Structure 1
Amino acid sequence: DPYTGPALLEPEAAGVLFHEAVGHRLEGERQNDDKDGRTFKGQVDKPILPFFISVVDDPTQRAAGPVSLNGYYRFDDQGVPGQKTVLVDKGVLRTFLMSRAPVQGVPPQSNGHGRSAPGRDPVARMSNLIVESSKAMPWPKLKEALTAEAKRQEKPFGLIIRDVTGGNTDTSGYAYQAFKGQPRLVYKVDANTGAETLVRGVEIVGTPLLSINKIIATGDERRVFNGYCGAESGYVPVSTVAPTILVSEIELQRTRKDTGRPPVLPSPWARPPVSATR
């Protein structure tokens, strides 16, 4: 069923949220285009995120721990060296992702983010989007905070969103400023017992400014989501590195996608037999 309430987004899901709700709206050319919503235009040196969140985009980082990052490169597609760029520092917007195209209110020089697929004109795009937090806690404490928040809101349960397949967003000025994420694994967490129950057939929806300012805590472990991002200059390889985030409110709606029913019986060919349920 549709749901509005507290949720834990594990690192892969949190990374997609930041990519769709924040990263795309910090791409330089979007601040110049009257057809875009320009969510953060004129917001440099103003708070746009909770004070404990910082966001960096760093194409020069090859890996996060043992995991290689898709968004690594030495030079962008305009021949400019890729540069580590602090986009948000302790909640405050500092700059935008820049190609060679200038943006009003920002020093007129590229920070090495002009990217494109072959045959397309480069524009400012994300590479390795890295989310940092000064308000981190271990997983058991996060789960306790989730159930406490659910009780505070008089909700019977909270949600854990464990994985996602991807997402999309609309930054157009002629449409609703919204984003969507497609979760792979979602669990209801009973507010009283902490018991987890699998939920099927839902997707994350929301508006960017509201969603990102509902973050109330983060985890102390970051993980990588590698993928490809499609936008005006084509598909480019990207990564996000993010912690688990606890949000006080997130919205889920039904999805039309038929996920199929899980098997009732174990496979007769499994050796040893594997149970279809836990």
Structure 2
Amino acid sequence: MDTKLQDFAEKAVNYASRTGAQYCDARAEQQKQKSVLLENNQTEFVRTNDDRGLGIRIIKDNLWSFCSITNPQSFEEVKVAINNSIKNTNNQNENKIKLYPNTNKKIKINYPVLKKPELDEIIKIGLECNKIILETPKIIKSIVHPWYSINSKYFINSEGTEILQNFTDVIIEMIATAHDSGITQSVNITEGGRGGLEQILNNDKIQKTAKNISSKASQLTNAKPVKEEKATVVMNPDFVSLLTHEILGHPSEADRVLGKEMAWAGGAWWKNKLGEKIGSEKLNVFDDPTIKESLGWYQFDDEGVETRKTTLVENGILKNHMQNRETAQIFNSAPTGNMRATNYRFMPLIRMACTCIANGDSKVDEIIKDVKHGYLISNMKIPSIDMKRYNWSISCQYAQKIENGEITDLLKDVIVMGTAPEFFKSIDACGDDFTVRPITNCGKGDPMQSMIMGNGGPTIRGTATVKSAN
């Protein structure tokens, strides 16, 4: 962490307190990011970015204010930003802002990096994956986008908390596109996590993934369409991770439950349903920022709250929401460590860290074997969800018929749809497998913030409608 930037954060908190602020916190952040885009063995671009700055939140006269400063060169710049921020909210609010008490910490955390990422190395990996994809028959386009970021975040508040967290993220995104007889099909995948190059290099993982997506894209040019029907669906963990994200994770964010995001991002289908049954007894859901190497792994959030695993749904009963220090007071609960911002430029929002459906005790082959007629739904694609996350429609990258317990025809352009309560009450099996998938582009807020995180779960079985996208 740049010591000057850290010093400015400390001075900002002291200065805001002297102006009469009830509360202030500051985040000093710096990020170095390097990425490369490769298409059909050609380098389209190589980008490097070095970003640093301050984000400062203040409560004065029971009103929040916020300002950010990119790469400040003097504390005078910071003072001007703070003064303007307070001036722009120079009104009194009779409703007192109450923050849940927080234990003060002074700590430095270095998240492990076993193999430090370098630009030359990710270019080499990207070219290798690009070549593997193009070796498959029918492939007409291969896009590979590896990138990494090295991050340092320093948090300080007027209550005495000081936290420094240093971490690295390594990601690779790949798309394989096949064409045959007028039919074009694409399969994509994202791999990576919090840590070094080991996140994509272990056991030739990324090379095998490149081969798998190119093979599947090629096969899909000859796949069949699906006929619309309501049927038994078996969803693989990759598809389940997006389902969890959209219909269980977002409605669990307390600001959505309170309707504070209705104008631009929607609410929650289970508002006022705490303690009620919203799914089958097989359904258990949690959010856990402590899952190591997930993109949602962190020990303290952007309010300085220490993270923990939070049970959201237990045996089908809604137990909790994700809370910040302010909403926790409203719900008579405790903050869950889910307050996060994309970077210093933004106010923190309540965000998922790593929301998952918990695994069960069923063997995956037995889950499939028990299906007389249904569909195996594989890998996330595009979601379409209503404002309250109640009606949902999610396309998968491919599906397969299940007939008398056997996987048969490969199917293309399949959409799965239903309503949240009906589907979650239909779940009758959760596999003993469990996978956390990386999510790199979750949007929320106004102005919009794009966030990285993890989502996951096991293979699950339930009832939904399948139909063709065409």
TM-score tier (shorter)? 0.7 to 0.9
Q: Give the drift of 1:29.
A: 0.2
**1:207-254 Cα deviation digits (max 9, x unpaired):** 21122111111111111221122222511112123110011x212232
- Relative contact order: is structure 1 or structure 2 higher (C-alpha 8 Å, sep ≥ 6)? 1
Q: Give the aligned partner of residue 416 of structure 2.
A: 204
Q: Give the aligned partner of residue 117 of structure 1.
A: 342
Q: Give the drift of 1:165.
A: 3.0
CA RMSD of superposed structures (Å): 2.2
Q: Give the drift of 1:77.
A: 2.2
- Structure 1 stretches of 4+ with a deviation exceeding 6 A read none
Other structure's SS at 1:53 match: coil
Inter-CA distance 21–38: structure 2 relative to 1 (3 Å threshold): closer
Matches within 5 A, 1:193-272: 194-228=406-440, 229-232=442-445, 234-247=449-462, 249-256=463-470
**1:181-202 Cα deviation digits (max 9, x unpaired):** 22112111223x7241111112
Q: Give the drift of 1:108.
A: 5.0
Q: Give the drift of 1:104.
A: 7.8
More helix by share: 2
Unaligned runs of at least 5 residues, structure 1? 63-67, 151-157, 257-278
Other structure's SS at 1:212 match: helix
Letter paired with 1:254: S
TM-score, normalization by structure 1: 0.77
Q: Is the 8 A contact 1:53 1:133 kept in 2?
A: no
Q: Give the aligned partner of residue 50 of structure 1.
A: 280
Other structure's SS at 2:396 match: strand
% same residue: 23
Q: Give the aligned partner of residue 78 of structure 2.
A: none
- Which residue of the other structure, out of 240, 243, 246, is the alignment partner of 1:20? 246
**1:93-112 Cα deviation digits (max 9, x unpaired):** 11100123326862254211
Mapped partners of 1:82, 1:15: distance in 2: 21
Q: Give the drift of 1:6.
A: 0.6
Q: Give the aligned partner of residue 160 of structure 1.
A: 376
Letter paired with 1:252: V
Mapped partners of 1:236, 1:208: distance in 2: 24
Inter-CA distance 104–6: structure 2 relative to 1 (3 Å threshold): farther
Q: Give the aligned partner of residue 276 of structure 1.
A: none
Q: Is the 8 A contact 1:32 1:103 kept in 2?
A: no
Mapped partners of 1:244, 1:110: distance in 2: 30
Q: Give the aligned partner of residue 289 of structure 2.
A: 59
Q: Give the drift of 1:43.
A: 1.4
**1:151-178 Cα deviation digits (max 9, x unpaired):** xxxxxxx100122235353334xxx832
Q: Give the aligned partner of residue 270 of structure 1.
A: none
Inter-CA distance 195–125: structure 2 relative to 1 (3 Å threshold): closer
Q: Give the aligned partner of residue 223 of structure 2.
A: none
Q: Give the aligned partner of residue 148 of structure 2.
A: none
Mapped partners of 2:365, 2:333: distance in 1: 46
Q: Give the aligned partner of residue 49 of structure 2.
A: none
Unaligned runs of at least 5 residues, structure 2? 1-226
Letter paired with 1:126: M
Mapped partners of 2:371, 2:383: distance in 1: 24
Letter paired with 1:227: I
Q: Give the aligned partner of residue 139 of structure 2.
A: none
Other structure's SS at 1:22 match: helix
Inter-CA distance 190–109: structure 2 relative to 1 (3 Å threshold): closer
Other structure's SS at 1:137 match: coil
Q: Is the 8 A contact 1:31 1:103 kept in 2?
A: no
Query: How many correspondences in the alignment?
Result: 236
Other structure's SS at 2:242 match: helix
